[in-house]
Amino acid sequence: MRPQSCEEERKLQLQELEELSLESYESAMWYKEKTKLWHDKNLGVKELKVGQNVLLFQSKLKLMPGKLKSKWIGPFTIVGLRANGAVEIQGSAPNSIPFLVNGHRVKVFRDNSELCIVDEVPLRALPDIA
């Protein structure tokens, strides 16, 4: 083989490799964009109001892990909402002091009074096949 032809073949191989690399980069970019759109579409927005009861995420639990320990403490009552996403909450004790927490660390507390009663519909028994 001539050195000239080997050189040209090697250049073609390098060019093909670069094209594959660019194609995979583009494919990954499209995948990330589609995934972000899907997550943004399915994102639930929390609507917090003053006077609402919430639970607070207990971040210190990660230091002492336990399967049966609850990650949420409370309930607390929302005293104020800030424009930056901070939430001012207060404990249920009468002399508790309100404190600020990040809005991402709270979730709405649903007590049993908000549950709906659902009518039970009995199912008909299937005949025995013998």
pLDDT value at position 129? 74
Cβ count near 106 (within 10 Å): 21
Residue boundaries of the structural domains of the chain: 1-44, 53-114
Q: In what order do the strands lie in the sheet with 86-90?
A: 99-102, 86-90, 72-81, 53-57, 106-108
User: CA-CA distance, 110 to 55, in Å (whole number)?
Assistant: 9
pLDDT value at position 63? 61
pLDDT value at position 124? 76
In sequence order, the 6+-apart residues with CB closer than 8 A to the CB of 98 are 79, 80, 88, 89, 90
CATH of domain 53-114: 2.30.30
User: CA-CA distance, 120 to 114, in Å (whole number)?
Assistant: 19
User: CA-CA distance, 77 to 71, in Å (whole number)?
Assistant: 18
Predicted confidence pLDDT, tens digits, the chain (130 residues): 677 888 889 999 999 999 999 999 999 999 999 999 999 888 877 889 999 999 999 877 566 666 777 888 989 999 999 999 999 999 988 889 999 999 999 999 987 765 667 777 777 777 777 6
| CA nearest neighbour of 46 among 100, 5, 1, 102 | 102
| pTM score of the predicted model | 0.55
